Amino acid sequence: MTVDLATPSLRPGPRPVTTGREIPHDQLDQFSPPGIRAALIEEGRALPGVFTGASQVSEPSSFALRLVRPSGPWEAFLHPSTDEFGHIHRVGFMHLTVPIELIAPLRAAGWIEPHPISLRPEWPDTIVMLYAPRNEEELALATAVLRASWQQASADSVSLTSKGKE
């Protein structure tokens, strides 16, 4: 399945309900089934140069995606970390950085919302919350976004249009 992040399909269903905290760490009504979350984690682990573990910038239960040799720009990382470009929360949604040109189409299609910390001038505008994938089709889009984030953080020159599992 080919996923074009410049023109993503609309995310079905309502926007997830969060706790209303300043930085959302919970989706109360929508979450990834365990197998979907596990597949998302495996996709992150399989990316070249990525190492994983507990997040250095979020809840320790968040599964961090970090680079051994980060080479992307400042806005490619979750600050104050200089190597963590994303993390997957227990319910399957992600906080990650997204190339700036993909934020508007993903937001318009209902897949992401800006991370509240990005409203502060000292933090990059590229930090977003990607809603938890709930099935294989949504996993393909989440994986494509994850790859775009990795490409930005690793300064990989591969096209931002990504292929999911065939």
Query: pLDDT tens across 109-143, in order?
Result: 999 988 776 777 777 889 999 999 999 999 999 99
Look at 33-42, 75-84, 105-114, 154-163 and tell me which has the smallest mean pLDDT. 154-163
The long-range contacts involving 30-33, CB below 8 angstroms and separated by at least 24 positions, are 30/131, 30/132, 30/134, 31/91, 31/92, 31/93, 31/132, 31/134, 32/91, 32/92, 32/93, 32/132, 32/133, 32/134, 33/134, 33/135
What are the angstrom distances between the C-alpha of 21 and each of 25, 38, 42, 156, 163? 8, 26, 29, 34, 35
84-93 burial: b if 16+ Cβ within 10 Å, else e: bbbbbbbbbb
CA angle 63, 68, 72 (to 5 degrees): 95
Q: How many angstroms separate the CA atoms of 15 and 158, rounded?
A: 31
Q: Which amino acid is at 58?
A: S
- Digit-coded pLDDT (tens) for 8-64: 999 998 888 776 665 555 666 889 999 999 999 999 999 999 999 888 888 777 899
pTM: 0.86
Kindly tell me the sign of the dihedral angle through the C-alpha atoms of 99, 135, 40, 92: positive
Which pLDDT score, from 0 to 100, does residue 124 have? 82
Q: What is the dihedral of CA 74, 78, 83, 84, to 10 degrees?
A: -150
User: What is the rounded average pLDDT of the residues 135-164?
Assistant: 79
Query: Phi and psi for 145 in degrees, rounded to 5?
Result: -65, -45
pLDDT of residue 122: 79
| pLDDT at residue number 123 | 77
The pLDDT of residue 166 is above 60: no
